[in-house]
A and B are shown apart, each in its own frame.
Chain A
Amino acid sequence: MRTRALLLFALVFLGGSTASAQFGFLKDAVDAVKDNPLKSNNSTTNDTLKAAGQFGKGIAGIGPEEEKKIGDSVALEIVGKYGGLVRDAAVLHRVNLVGRALARYSDRPELNWRFGVLNSDSVNAFSAPDGWVFITRGLYTLAKDDDTLAGILGHEIAHITGRHALKIVENSNKLSGGLGIWASTNQKVGNVQAQLKQFDISIDKITSTLFESGYAPGKEYEADKDGRNLASVTGYAPGGLRSVLVQLQRRGGDNKKVFSTHPPLAERIKRLPDEPAPRPQSTG
């Protein structure tokens, strides 16, 4: 009992610690399970170790291969829901040059960054793990200068470098793995159907956040701040994101179509430095 209590304590408080500490803890967790006297046979032990491995994945984080599978699938859902992609080579070229310029100085510069425009008149932007960034046509038309576009894309890049979507799955894995350790004794979790179901559930968790509830306000403010800083260090006017938010606030209109999954515009504007709006420029 004492061992379990210590493990639970460690899980709660070490969830955000360094990778090396996490790996060290995982070994301890597996060793502790191996020594668990409640286990009565090899099958039970193996199943519990599987659960420990799942638990450990939640702690250690999702690796690049899994991130790609998740990111590609979330990107499919985004494109499917928002009218497909605008197939305009000039628009795509501009968005990718500005986006890739920003991504070069992001905290994950080696990621496979891709930027697309969604064929929707709503005003929003989305990102998916593994470097997928999307801006709706409705928002793109408001980004008449590259400073503003950089502010918008910087916000979405920050969601990816901050692993905000992946953390939804990682936290969920921690919970389910934890339940596996504490409650499961002999469940068969290795079959293909169960794995597919688990994969689809993970994607659903991310898309329901993206399309319905939105990230927690703290994550959005963090992405606003980090995105602004990224635009600034890249050389774009740091007030780009704020200027488009102010523009949208002044315009009013149907709030359900304007950053509907983000915190209120007024609160986001208040939290960003009051900097001059970018000067209009020609785009190409």
Chain B
Amino acid sequence: MKPRPAFRLWPAALLLATVVVAEAALTPGGTAYTKRYKTTLLAEPSPMASPTGELAFGRQLKIVEMKGNWLRVSDGPTGGWVFAGSLTDSKPAETKGADGNVLLASATTATAANRPLSEEANAYAARRNLGSARVDLDWLQAQCKGVTAADVDAFLKAQKKGEYQ
């Protein structure tokens, strides 16, 4: 049986989609997406500039202009500058929670931060005789809690990294 014309076109369409994805990049005229729970747009390409708006996770933006590592973007009537590292060129994926509902990755992972090892992992450690490793990871988790987001921000400023370059 000969395949119907629509099926014959699928491989070509898939190949085209792959090429488009592979060539995606953060350049003027292109598309970018927010990848954080909140992304602040600024009036100037500087971390010290005043905010012009705030965007939620996964928003599709048009890249209007580029200055070094900063992009001027627009989301309908909202526009402003944002550090390129704060955006991504591929649409962030939706994921499913334990209840099976579709939700945004950032919303769940933000609330999951700094939780202790999962019950399943603790049970796994017991089954596999990994009690010592579990103690090590508990220690690591406690140490990592001591490095706050404010510490990381201060480090970036002091080192002139990220948006503080």
Q: Do A and B bind each other?
A: yes
Q: Taking beta carbons and an 8 Å cutoff, which residues of A are in contact with B?
A: 13, 18-20, 23, 57, 60-66, 68-69, 72-73, 75-77, 79-80, 84-85, 87, 89, 92-93, 96-97, 100-101, 104-105, 107-112, 114-116, 130, 146, 196, 199-200, 203, 233-236
Beyond A80-B132, A105-B162, A114-B141, is A63–B117 a contact (Cβ under 8 Å)?
A: no
B152 touches A235 (CB 8 A): no
Give the interface size class of chain B: 35 or more
Beyond A13-B14, A97-B152, is A64–B97 a contact (Cβ under 8 Å)?
A: yes
Beyond A61-B96, A68-B118, is A76–B133 a contact (Cβ under 8 Å)?
A: yes
Beyond A68-B115, A68-B118, is A76–B147 a contact (Cβ under 8 Å)?
A: no
Say which residue of A79, A101, A146 sits within 8 Å of B133 (CB atoms).
A79
Say which residue of A72, A101, A233 sits within 8 Å of B120 (CB atoms).
A72
B98 touches A76 (CB 8 A): no
B85 touches A199 (CB 8 A): no
Whole-angstrom distance between the alpha carbons of A15 and B110 in the complex? Answer: 27
B132 touches A77 (CB 8 A): no
A234 touches B161 (CB 8 A): yes
B102 touches A101 (CB 8 A): no
B92 within 8 A of A: yes
B60 within 8 A of A: no
Whole-angstrom distance between the alpha carbons of A165 and B165 in the complex? Answer: 33
The B130-156 residues at the A interface (CB cut-off 8 A) are 130, 132-134, 136-137, 139-141, 143-144, 147, 151-152, 155-156
Beyond A77-B130, A104-B162, A107-B35, is A66–B124 a contact (Cβ under 8 Å)?
A: no
